[in-house]
């Protein structure tokens, strides 16, 4: 498997906005286009709360197959800061998975 088969960074960001934030959190007054890549998701910015943070973490596994178990809370806050940071985390996780599969021959 090569990394070119993975979705692009821009596609990850768009999916985060559409599927992970607007649809999964049922944000009725916000469209994906209104969410800036670098807009903070919690507190000032989009204003998400801790329940929504948990839903985003669950959504990472459901949408991208990326798990957050075992990640220290301070690192997790960094990863979930905004759309760009989530996309970097997803991309790194997917690439890491692909790198581990490079050279693996199916029976």
* 39-58 pLDDT tens trace: 999 988 999 999 999 999 99
Question: 100: pLDDT confidence band, cut at 50, 70 and 90?
Answer: low
Q: Residue 106 pLDDT more than 60? A: no
The structural domains of the chain, with segments of one domain joined by +, span 7-101
Using an 8 Å Cβ cutoff, are 35 and 17 in contact? yes
Distances (CA, A) of 102 to 4, 7, 8, 9, 91: 12, 17, 18, 20, 16
Question: 5: pLDDT confidence band, cut at 50, 70 and 90?
Answer: low
Q: What is the mean pLDDT of residues 1-30?
A: 86
User: Model-level pTM?
Assistant: 0.85
Using an 8 Å Cβ cutoff, are 52 and 93 in contact? no
Under CATH, which architecture does the 7-101 domain have? Orthogonal Bundle (1.10)
Question: 96: pLDDT confidence band, cut at 50, 70 and 90?
Answer: confident
């Amino acid at each position: 498997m090569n990394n070119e088969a993975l979705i692009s960074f821009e596609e990850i960001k768009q999916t985060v906005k559409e599927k992970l934030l607007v649809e999964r959190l049922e944000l009725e007054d916000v469209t994906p286009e209104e969410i800036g890549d670098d807009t903070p998701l919690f507190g000032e910015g989009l204003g998400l709360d801790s329940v929504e943070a948990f839903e985003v973490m669950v959504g990472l596994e459901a949408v991208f197959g990326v798990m957050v178990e075992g990640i220290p809370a301070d690192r997790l806050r960094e990863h979930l800061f905004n759309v760009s940071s989530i996309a970097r985390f997803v991309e790194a996780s997917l690439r890491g998975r692909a790198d581990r599969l490079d050279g693996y021959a199916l029976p």
